[in-house]
Structures are given as structure tokens and as C-alpha cells.
Amino acid sequence: MTTQRAGAQNPDEALRRFYGVIPAGGVGTRLWPLSRAAAPKFLHDLTGSGSTLIRATYDRLGPLSGDRIMVVTGKVHRSAVLKQIPEIQDANLVLESEPKDSAAAIGLAAAILYQRDPEIIMGSFAADQVITPVDVFQEAVREAIHTAAQGYIVTIGIKPTLPATGFGYIRAGRNLHLDGAPSAHSVIEFVEKPSEEVARGYLETGNYSWNAGMFVAPVALMLRHLEANEPELYTGLTEIAEAWDTPSRSEVARRVWPTLPKIAIDYAVAEPAAAAGDVAMIPGNFSWDDVGDFAAIGRLNPAIENSKLTVMGEGARVFSDNASGIVVSDTKRVIALIGIDDVVIVDTPDALLVTTKEHAQEVKKAVEHLRASGETDVL
Amino acid sequence: MTTQRAGAQNPDEALRRFYGVIPAGGVGTRLWPLSRAAAPKFLHDLTGSGSTLIRATYDRLGPLSGDRIMVVTGKVHRSAVLKQIPEIQDANLVLESEPKDSAAAIGLAAAILYQRDPEIIMGSFAADQVITPVDVFQEAVREAIHTAAQGYIVTIGIKPTLPATGFGYIRAGRNLHLDGAPSAHSVIEFVEKPSEEVARGYLETGNYSWNAGMFVAPVALMLRHLEANEPELYTGLTEIAEAWDTPSRSEVARRVWPTLPKIAIDYAVAEPAAAAGDVAMIPGNFSWDDVGDFAAIGRLNPAIENSKLTVMGEGARVFSDNASGIVVSDTKRVIALIGIDDVVIVDTPDALLVTTKEHAQEVKKAVEHLRASGETDVL
């Protein structure tokens, strides 16, 4: 497949085509018991900013898109999301009756937007990431929009600060010398989560970025790659999309959605598009965190002065003596910590987690064990 | 003051004079938040035996005293104690309207029993101690009763297993060569909690025992020393005691009790009696624990096989991975422990403690802090 690329448009024209998409899925298992099926990560304020992650994501896109923002989330989160984003239009709140992975979620947004206007450039940004400063992010997205307008699927690559093994990487090629997007590079390939040794090698070359799953692309181009790689998924999504802004939305969605194949957007679109030379990358020179575990919460919420203990939670009543680490309090209980270092305590009404910063990644194990032993009431 | 001592009585006669007394006071601050004002240490099953400490104390005395057992406790614990010991006679449940320290508590028991029968030998044993094996304890008490019958205030000394700094010590003298009490020794003095260095010296001599606050004595002799050392206290207690088994019990107790001086039985009776040569000691060759902190709970409740984690609590739902220590669960919450060693977690409906075995003694600090900052709802 080859793509005919348009030249640069009027810059304002490109920006006017932009439409934000926020896929809000994923429980955030490593943040259990704070984050769980009924209250996933994106519904929490994990930075002490006063905003939940999804609200902060919405607000970050606002200056670029206005109210042209679509949220794709699980049906069970409808009222929680509406509470966070009361201004969202009903037709822009896409509710999945069951999870179908990222290609279906992002693909449905693309298909619906394509029906409304085939010229739309969508920008998809996960609901549970923390980004500062916001204006640097927005500037990168603007470059991505200009790049997309010239016929690319554009990802924003995060400059790695350590040889992380928990992220996929983007291998960048040459600068594309595009109008309005001076830092746009070609993408040679997406690579899977590496070993630490391999990751160190990536950092040394300087050509690799973290893949934060951010995609800015003309919906038409997204759909063309989806059709080529996952025709069954494409057909189903198009059927739903054609019915979306009509009275038969519910009936068609209810019938078709459960039949769709589950596949990640990386396999369905990003990797084959990169292989076809259709993917570009804008370097994101902002600070980015996917709040992958409770150690991240410690990083994002510095301890108050003269204390080594980070305390989160509105009603928190914490007494500590010679203690350091992180306390997340989702109850009104008194919590006393004595003589314990780098501890992670997450106190919720029906579940308590006690671990250390060092072991924060292993919280997933506890969740898996609880699921296996049928203690699903707290998951 | 000199004491005329009787010779040995018929051994059965001495045992028939015995009356158990259980002072049940003290919150057990170092066991917060499990133990607290409304639910002190003695109302908990801290050994996993299925019995609360006060019930186990009562049952330990039963074979010696039958139902001749008096409990002295706070008025607020009336219904909790009755739930533990439903068979106790109303006149044997002595309720303090406010705490007045051990001399008033034990002295009132002595004074009431003296009114009933001046020949009674009382045996006072705190409600919150753990003793095994029970038959070795009972044999020591029998020796103590025979010793008491021959005119002594008798304490049972615990053979020290380490140079503890948290207990007072008893310095024994010569063997008294008494009938029915071959191991009875004179007591030269009671000494206060020592430094560790001093305690090491005590252990080397072999003449020192831990003072577990156990007293077996003729009530007449107890009262004689109380009268000599604390005449005001003696007078007040006698006034209450004379009214106790009459209709005016409540009226007199309500009027007199609040006026009584607060003093420990050690100062009011034991130390001056020892100085007068009236105190004897029976070595207690049983295992004894005052459950002074959560580390003690770990000792008393060995971890289940193949686990380094001791879990207490009926409804406990604990998941642990690479964790060791003690979990006391007083809720139905799921508790997940990951990668943390020698931790102490006490989970109650309104308060949570997280510390380590090493710091278990410092729990008192947290309680003091909470009291100082007005968080008394959880104390």
C-alpha cells in the first residue's frame, strides 16, 4: 500500500480539522486496591492536582480541539465519566458493552468521525497519563497535526529518561522536513518492550523514544490501514459508525460490537503503517508518566516539606514516626506508621495493600491471586 | 510491725481458704489499635486459643478456687466481662467508677473478702497474662497458698529468660523450709525496672525473678500492711467493704471510691511488707508472657507451617507474597502484603497500625500523639 501525500495546507486549516479522542480503558491493576474494575485509574486524582486523570486529559486537549472530543470507555463507567466531563455531548461518549482492545476502541472513534467528516484529523490520547508542562505537549500535538495533514499517522515519542523495560519503543529515522512540523521524523519501526540491556542500547543510540500510545492521524488514513490489516474489524466498525448518529445506534452497536475481534492498535495499524512508511514521530519534550505503580504516585506527589512520607487522600488522618514512603488513604481511618521505610500503604474501605516502593510493580500478582481465588468483590 | 506466724495447717484446709481475685484494668496501649479504652487487652484472644485473656485467667484459677473468684474492673467493661464470664456472681464483679490504681483495686477485693470471712487467702492475678502449662502454674499457686497460710504475702516469681528492662524484679533470699511449700523463699526486696546492664547482673546471680504482680496472701495480712502504710485508703476501702454485701453497696461505693488515693499495690503493700520480712516467693517454672506488644503476639501465635507470617483474626482475608511478620485483622477487609519483612499490621474498623516487630514497643508513642492531638475517638 502506498499513500499519496498532500502538501502543506493552510496551518489554521489543519488545526481546524482536529478532533480529540480519549480511550479510557484499562483498570490499572498495579494500582490496586485504589484502582479497580469499578473505579479504574483514570477516575482518580493521582497527582494531588484536584483533577482526575481523565479530566486532566480532557482539559489538556481543550485548547486544541474545543469541545470536539470523543471519549471511548466501558458502559459501567458512563455515570462516573459524565460526572467528570458533564459537558460532553451524548454522541461523543462511546460506551463499550464489553472490552474489545484498543484497535476496536480507537477504530470506532475513527469510523464515527469519518462518517461526520472524512477530513477529520483525530488525536488519540489515553485517559490515564500525566503530562507536564501542558503547553509543551500542546505544541507537540500541533506539530503532529500539521504532520498528519501531510498524510501521516503521527505518534509522539517520549524521550526516555531511563532504560525502562515496561514500555515499547519507537525507532525514528530521518527528519521529514515538513512544513509546520520542523521536528517530524520518519518512524522505521515500533519495537516491543525490551530487556534492560537492549533498552540501554536504545538509549545510547538516541534514536529511540518511548511509545506512549499517542496517535494523531487523518481518520481516513487510520481506516485505510485498518481495512488493509483487519478487514473484519473494519467492516464491523463501519457498520456501527454508519448507524451512530442515527436512531439505530444502540441496536446496531449492541448487535455488532460483541462480534468484533480483539486486537491492539499497535498490531492492527501502527506497526504495518510504519512498515509502509506512513508513520511519523514528533519528539515529546515534556515530562510524561503513565502512573504505572504506586512508586509513580510517590514521584508525582512529592512529600511535604521535612517529611519523607507522601500522603494522599482528602480525609487522611496519618500519624507517622520515623516512617517514609507513600500512604494513599481512601477512608477516614486513623493510620499510624512507626519505624518503617519506603513503605506503600493503600487503605480503602474493603481492601488494604501494604508493600514497598521496590515491590510496587508486583501488586499485579496480588490482584491475579485474588481473582484466581474468587475474591472478586474487591477487584 | 512484726507478724505472728501460724504453723502449717492441714493442707486441704489452707486450699479451702483460697479465693481468686482478677484485677482487670489497663488498656494495653502498646497493643493499640486492637487494644483500646473500650476494648482493653484482657478482652481479646491474643493467643489464638479461642479464649480471651480474662476468660483464660478465670479458667486457670477455677481448679483452685471453684466459683470463688472476684473480678475487679472498670464500670464500662461490665457487659463485656459478663459476656466472658456469665457465671460470675453479681457480688463478685467489682466495678470501679474510675481507675484508682492497683492498691485500691486489690485492696477493695481484700476488704470485701475479709468481711465475708477473715480467714480467706486471696490470690490476685492480672487478667491479661498468658501462662503455660496451666498445671505447673496451679502447682506454684498451691505452694503459695500453703506459704500464705503460714503468715506470708506470697508472690510468684517468674524465672527470667532474658535481661528484660520492662519488668520489676524480685530479689529472693533463703529457702523458708515450709511445710507444703518446699520451694518457698524469703523475699529481700522488690526492685524497679532496671537498665539492661543491671538486668544482666540480676540474671547472673540467679537470685532475681520477674515480678508478674501475682500476690497470694491472707486478706487479713494484706489489710494489716495496707492499714499501716495507707491508712486513708484502708479506711475508705473498709467502709465500702462493710456495705458491699448489703443494700447500701452502690450508695457507699459511689460516695467513697472517688475520694480514694491512687497508689500501686507495690508501694502500698508489697515493698513495705518485704522490708518487714513478711513476703515470700514461689518460683514459677512456667512460661509467662504479659503480651506487652505485638512482637509478643508473634511469639504466642506461631506462623502456620511454611509461612513466616502470623495471621490473627477470625474473618482475616490475607494474601501475602514474600512477606513475614504479624497481621492482626479485626475487619473483613482483604489485606495484601507484598515483599515486606517483619511487618506488624493491625487492621481495625477505624484505625490501622503499620510498624515492624523491632518497633513494636513504640506503639505507645502513636497513642500518646493521638491523645495529644485530640484524636481520642480511636483510643
For residue B203, give the nearest of B248, B159, B262 by alpha carbon. B159
Q: Band the pLDDT of A377: cuts 50, 70, 90.
A: confident
Q: Dig out the grid coordinates for B84 from the structure.
A: 466472658
CA distance B357 to chain A (A): 10
Of A228, A235, A216, A231, the closest CA to residue A273 belongs to A228
Mean pLDDT within A296-323: 82
- Domain parsing of chain B, residue ranges: 11-289, 303-378
Of A62-76, B33-47, B192-206, the range with the lowest mean pLDDT is B33-47
Mean pLDDT across B65-81: 96
Q: Which residue among B337, B352, B369 sits closest to A335, beta carbon to beta carbon?
A: B352
Mean pLDDT of A195-221: 96
Per-residue pLDDT band for A22 (boundaries 50, 70, 90) equals: very high
Vertex B274 angle, CA B271 and B275, to 5° = 90
Pair A194, A208: CB distance under 8 Å: no
A265 close to A139: Cβ distance less than 8 angstroms? no
Instruction: Write down the pLDDT at residue B8.
Output: 66
CB spacing of B352 vs A362 below 8 angstroms: no
Q: Which residue has the cell 509513580?
A: A296
User: Grid coordinates standing for A318?
Assistant: 496519618
What is the pLDDT averaged over residues A216-237? Answer: 98
Q: Has residue B112 got a pLDDT over 60?
A: yes
Among B349, B355, B375, whose Cβ lies nearest the Cβ of A340? B355
Interface confidence, given as ipTM, is: 0.82
- pLDDT, one tens digit per residue, over B151-180 is 999 999 999 999 999 999 999 999 999 999
Q: Examine the pLDDT at B291 and tell me if it is beyond 60.
A: yes
pLDDT at residue B316, rounded to an integer:
84
pLDDT at residue number B62: 97
Residue A305 has pLDDT above 70, yes or no: no
Does residue B365 carry a pLDDT above 90? no
Q: How confident is the model over B240-262, as a mean pLDDT?
A: 96
Please, which pLDDT band fits residue A3 given cuts at 50, 70 and 90? low
- The per-residue pLDDT of chain A, averaged, comes to 93
Which of the residue ranges A63-67, A91-95, A352-356, B330-334 would you say has the lowest mean pLDDT?
Answer: B330-334
What is the pLDDT averaged over residues B272-285? 97
Grade residue A135 by pLDDT with cuts at 50, 70 and 90: very high
Select from A328, A366, A359 the least CA-distant residue to A29: A366
More confident: A27 or B259: B259
* Pairing status of strand A279-284 against strand A169-175: unpaired
- Cα angle B87, B92, B97 (rounded to 5 degrees) comes to 115
B1: pLDDT confidence band, cut at 50, 70 and 90? low
**Average pLDDT over chain B, rounded to whole?**
93
Q: What is the pLDDT of residue A28?
A: 81
For residue A338, CA distances in Å to A85, A298, A318, B357, B359 come to 41, 19, 11, 10, 7
How, if at all, do strands B351-356 and B334-347 pair?
antiparallel
Cβ-contact A35, A53 below 8 angstroms:
no
A322 touches chain B (CB under 8 A): yes
Q: Which residues of A touch B370 (CB under 8 A)?
A: 319, 334, 336
> How sure is the predictor about B354, in pLDDT bands with cuts at 50, 70 and 90?
very high
Q: Is A91 helix (H, G, I), strand (E, B) or coil?
A: helix
Higher pLDDT, A29 or A17: A17
Q: Which of A338, A350, A356 sits opposite B359 (nearest CB)?
A: A338
| Percentage of residues in chain A having pLDDT higher than 70 | 97
Superfamily of domain B11-289: Spore Coat Polysaccharide Biosynthesis Protein SpsA; Chain A (3.90.550.10)
Interface test with B, best of A324, A333, A376 (most B CBs within 10 A): A333
A319: which chain B residues are within 8 Å (Cβ-Cβ)? 366, 369-370, 373, 375
Q: Does B359 touch chain A (CB under 8 A)?
A: yes
Q: Is A176 on the interface with B (CB under 8 A)?
A: no
